[in-house]
Amino acid sequence: MSHRIIIAGPRIHDVGYRLFLLQYAQMKGFTHFFAMNALQDGKQQIIIFLCEKDETISTFISYLSSNKPDFAEVSNIKSEVFEGEVVPIGTYLQDLQFEQLCKGIPAISRIEESQKAMLDKQDKMLDKQDKMLEKQDHMIHLQQDTVDEIKGFRKDSADYLDREFTEIKKKLNAIEAALTREGIQV
């Protein structure tokens, strides 16, 4: 007998739900199966059509009540008899593969564009890093020049002070000698 099962919830699209359903259907040997995403009053739904034995359908509904894909949020599962034909599961598999390819190709193109943009940004960042390294090299050179200049200044100052202290010592010795000659003890 044909059945329609409607799964509703705030997040059941774009979480791999139909692939999850198809995997179960194939594993259990379903022969006629179809599932599609739908919106009802702005709410997400997956509508499943299947033509199997009543006990197989009951087991399937039981499974759906306690299992769902990661990230899916289900609020309601409803089952009803369906008057109509259901496509063979192989036809649905081909349709789903085609649909997934149609979704995947634009996504891959967007990823490629994003990667190009990221590579452009990386190139700009590398250029900025090169400029920063050049500035750092220049600063290191300036620092070395400053250090060399300070060392030279210290040496020049030390030489100058040595000469001045030597001259002061000579003058003090001369003053001391003159005072001694005059009879003044220092």
pLDDT class of 103 with cuts at 50, 70, 90: confident
The yes-or-no verdict on residue 186 having pLDDT over 80 is no
Q: Is the pLDDT of residue 100 over 90?
A: no
Q: Other CB atoms closer than 10 Å to residue 11's CB: what's the count? A: 13
pLDDT at 67: 96
CA distances from 10 to 39, 43, 62, 80, 102 (A): 11, 7, 21, 21, 24
pLDDT, residue 44, reads: 97
| pTM greater than 0.85 | no
Q: Per-residue pLDDT tens for 43-87?
A: 999 999 999 999 999 999 999 999 999 999 999 999 999 999 999
Place of tokens 């300070």: 150
For 119-147, how does the pLDDT look when each residue is reduced to its tens digit (9 = 90+)? 999 999 999 999 999 999 999 999 999 99
- Walk me through the domains of the chain, giving residue ranges and CATH numbers: 2-87 (3.30.70.100)
More confident residue, 7 or 155: 7
Question: pLDDT-derived band of residue 19, with 50, 70 and 90 as boundaries?
Answer: very high
